[in-house]
Chains A and B, each alone.
Chain A
Amino acid sequence: MKKTLAFIVVIVLSLLIILELNNNDLFPKFGDVDLTQRVSYRYVTKNLDFPVIFGETQNPESGPANIITSIIVDYRSFDTLGEVSVLFISSFGVAFLLGSGHIVKRLDLNLKPNFMLRVGAKPLFAIILMTGVYITLHGHLTPGGGFPGGAMIASSILLLYLADQQFRAKIKGFKLLESISGTLYVAIGLIGLIFANYFLRNFLPTGTVGNLFSSGIIPIIYVLVGLKVGSEISGIVDSFLTTEEPI
């Protein structure tokens, strides 16, 4: 009876959503949108009259070849600062609930890592770490960026935790790295506020679209975000896998 009722509620709600979104002026069909009437048109053309060409266009308004990066880290960089602080608050909460400054040791989960995991973890750690660093560094050219790159760095640390029952990362170093990169992010924003009149404005020359060293402050910010996310998620993993020493 309960399940039938839930099923009927779900059907009615989905019918309502579909009927509301069909024939709605604000929600046109896929491909029918006139992009020139939208704000995103400016993000795609980078405020130029001629089309952007990979490897040739010089000094556009926003440098990245990846449009999503130019929105996330350039036009809407303040939102990214908010996202990073949300992640910081969540990692702070996890550390507050699960870990503490007392003597801590690894949680004994009765997981015996077998031979393949123990031997294969070290080369795989190097490969995953390098992939994370690559994705973070090339965030303005290829899909990805600071968040997935940082999460990959954290998952390589997680692999080390899985392979060795006694392993613990240097969490104090991670915390230092996290606070330094967060402070530098805000400092770059303040430099933009002082020299270019807007918080987090791109004050460096943007260069050629498609080069590794291009688009001003965006690669710097993405590297900082990658370091911050990686160290924060590594701290969360460490908090989940350790326990306080009973006195």
Chain B
Amino acid sequence: MTLIEITKIILAILLLLISFLAVNEKKIIKSVIYLSALSMLTVVSFVLMRAPDAAVTEAVIGSGLVTSLFIFTLLSVNKEEKK
């Protein structure tokens, strides 16, 4: 087994683990952060699978924009609940 194959297996296990944590986390903000980490790992796996186009798009949208929109929504919902 070469180094890249070992990396791929570790990556796959981490992806499964982090998606499980994202589903089962009680606090929503932590779940959003796990989702962001998941899409960052997906970027690495896209690069290893030689799909740089998909990797660039996933890096910008998955871990950048979508996470920030989730966090803004959570913050504004928390603010409304406090009133």
- On chain B, the residues within 8 Å of A236 by CB distance are 69
- On chain B, the residues within 8 Å of A237 by CB distance are 65, 68-69
Within 8 A of A (CB), among B20-67: 52-53, 55-57, 59-61, 64-65
Shortest beta-carbon distance, A135 to chain B, in Å? 7
User: 26 A-B pairs, CB-CB below 8 angstroms?
Assistant: A66-B53, A68-B53, A109-B72, A109-B75, A109-B76, A109-B79, A110-B75, A143-B52, A143-B53, A143-B55, A144-B52, A144-B53, A148-B56, A148-B59, A151-B57, A151-B60, A151-B64, A151-B65, A152-B60, A155-B60, A158-B65, A237-B65, A237-B68, A240-B72, A240-B73, A241-B72
Shortest beta-carbon distance, A180 to chain B, in Å? 23
The reply on A210 being an interface residue by CB < 8 A is: no
**Interface residue ranges, B against A (CB under 8 Å):** 52-53, 55-57, 59-61, 64-65, 68-69, 72-73, 75-76, 79
Q: A-B pairs with the 7 shortest C-beta distances? A: A143-B52, A151-B60, A148-B56, A148-B57, A143-B53, A109-B75, A144-B56
A contacts with B, residue count (CB < 8 A): 24
Shortest beta-carbon distance, B83 to chain A, in Å? 12
Q: From B75, which residue of chain A is reached at the shortest CB distance?
A: A109
- On chain A, the residues within 8 Å of B79 by CB distance are 108-110
**Interface residue ranges, A against B (CB under 8 Å):** 66, 68, 107-111, 135, 143-145, 147-148, 151-152, 154-155, 158, 162, 233, 236-237, 240-241
